[in-house]
Amino acid sequence: MRLMVLLIFSIFFIAIPFRAALQIDWEKVKDLQRPEELRVYLKALEDSVDTVPERAYRYLYRLEPLVNRFDLPELTLDFLFSKGHYFFVTGQYQKALNIFLSCATLASRSQRKKDYLRAMNNIAVVYARMDHYRESNNQYRQLIPLAIQSADQRRLMIIYLNMANNFLFLNLPDSAALYYAKALPLTQQGSFYRAALEVNLARLHVQLKNYSLAQELAWRSASYADSVGNIEMYLESLANIVSSYIGKKQWQKAERLAHQIETIAQERQLRLQLKDAYLTLAQIYREMGKYARALDYFQKYDVLKDSLYNESISQQINELKIKYDTEKKEKELAFKEAIIKRKDRENQVLTLGALVMLILLSAIIILYIKKRMAYNLLVQKGLQWSDCGLTARNKIAVNGAARQAINSKKEREIVRRIEEDFIGNKWFRESNLTIEKLSTRLAHLEH
């Protein structure tokens, strides 16, 4: 029973439709510049959640920084729904619940009604999977007026059916019957939803000891399940019939049909259904007084139950190992990328520093050349003045005995003294230095 209801919950979960895996280059995802370029990667993420969860985990890790960077409600919601669905598929229900609560908040804030309904429905399904059936039904009650307002008959039917299933788990058959009755007119004869509803109605009537009605509903749902090849629903329908035979104490009929379930489950390698068949046969043979056969089937049940439990533990360990290895690889990759980025920044700083030094050196060389040229010009002007003179007093001094005494050695001496005073006394720094002032100073160099 629980298996069938959980199967129905999974079908009614607003999951992502399957699409073939897209051939895309995930190495380029970090270079995306436009939000619309991200959609193809989000679709690939959606496709991988149900098929290859460990791959979906890597996609989530790579896409989250980009989604946060673009910060668009539509993209953020698509990403969060996929992230929540990933946690749901991998059994991390509390994380899935937190994600879907965030989806509901964001959808409400951005006035996205369809996404809000989707988030609320997912919250209800997660609560049910966590065995919090009352909380699940509280969520569904909030969805009922919204579904009625939007005239969404299919959604309303799903809500009623899931609420009825929750009441079954709460052992409230009267409430379950009430919501099954509400869902029934919204389903079509021969549809999957009608068959799923009748499977659960049959189980309900077994609990209520309405065995004849339970058999009628179970045979009808078994016929439909067989026609569409839904083996899980078919076996669940047969199990309801077996339960009704047991309730009527029709042990031979219950034994034959239970063996039929056992055979089908073995052929299809449906180990969960096989385990339940073993337990049912053990109970039947105990009631029939065939204790040896009852013990044999109970031992088979016990061994298979332990095997399934060990496989479940091994699967959880493998999932944890995959997550650990994935996180380790992602951290190593992120560390390497950080080192590369740091080296790139260092190279950029060194390049910039070298460029600045080159510019400064060029400026110093240019200034030095200009000062040297100015210095040479001043020396040349000073010598020209020594030859020509600019004032009468200087002409007398130059044209006097000193001019007659100047020879080549004297010229070199004067030039040397001009250089020493010009540089030593830093005349070239004087902003108010004129040719007249310079000539006056140079005139004193002869004495």
User: What pLDDT does residue 14 have?
Assistant: 41
* Whether the Cβ atoms of residue 218 and residue 256 lie closer than 8 Å to each other: no
Q: Looking at the domain assignment, is residue 149 inside a domain?
A: no
Q: Can you tell me the distance from the alpha carbon of 262 to that of 250, in angstroms, rounded to the nearest whole number?
A: 18
User: What pLDDT does residue 228 have?
Assistant: 80
User: What pLDDT does residue 307 have?
Assistant: 84
User: What pLDDT does residue 395 have?
Assistant: 47
- CB-based contacts of 204, cutoff 8 Å, min separation 6: 168, 173, 176, 177, 180, 214
Domain count, the chain: 1
Range of the domain at 264: 259-309
Q: Looking at the domain assignment, is residue 277 inside a domain?
A: yes
User: What pLDDT does residue 265 have?
Assistant: 92
User: What pLDDT does residue 398 have?
Assistant: 47
Tens digit of each residue's pLDDT, the chain (447 residues): 444 444 444 444 444 343 434 456 666 666 777 877 778 888 888 888 878 877 888 888 888 888 888 888 888 999 999 999 999 888 889 999 999 999 999 999 999 988 998 899 999 999 998 999 999 999 999 999 988 888 888 889 989 999 998 998 898 999 999 999 999 899 887 778 888 888 888 989 998 899 999 999 999 989 888 888 889 889 999 999 999 999 999 999 999 999 999 999 999 988 889 999 999 999 999 999 999 999 999 999 999 888 877 766 666 565 556 556 656 666 666 677 677 777 777 788 878 877 877 787 777 788 778 777 776 776 676 666 555 544 545 544 445 444 554 456 666 676 676 667 666 666 666 667 666 676 676 666 555
420-430 burial, b for 16+ CB within 10 Å, e for fewer?
Answer: eebeeeebeee
Q: Looking at the domain assignment, is residue 364 inside a domain?
A: no
Read off the pTM.
0.56
User: What pLDDT does residue 311 have?
Assistant: 67
Q: Looking at the domain assignment, is residue 273 inside a domain?
A: yes
User: What pLDDT does residue 408 have?
Assistant: 60
Q: Looking at the domain assignment, is residue 276 inside a domain?
A: yes
- CB-based contacts of 260, cutoff 8 Å, min separation 6: 238
Distances 151 to 250, 301, 347 between C-alpha atoms, Å: 46, 47, 63
For every residue of 346-409, DSSP letters joined together read HHHHHHHHHHHHHHHHHHHHHHHHHHHHHHHHHHHHHHHHHHH-SSHHHHHHHHSHHHHH--HH
Q: How many residues does the chain have?
A: 447
User: What pLDDT does residue 39 have?
Assistant: 83
Q: Looking at the domain assignment, is residue 110 inside a domain?
A: no
Q: Looking at the domain assignment, is residue 56 inside a domain?
A: no
- Identify residue 268 by its one-letter amino acid code: R
Neighbours of 135 (CB within 10 A): 17
User: What pLDDT does residue 169 have?
Assistant: 87
Q: Looking at the domain assignment, is residue 275 inside a domain?
A: yes
User: What pLDDT does residue 351 have?
Assistant: 81
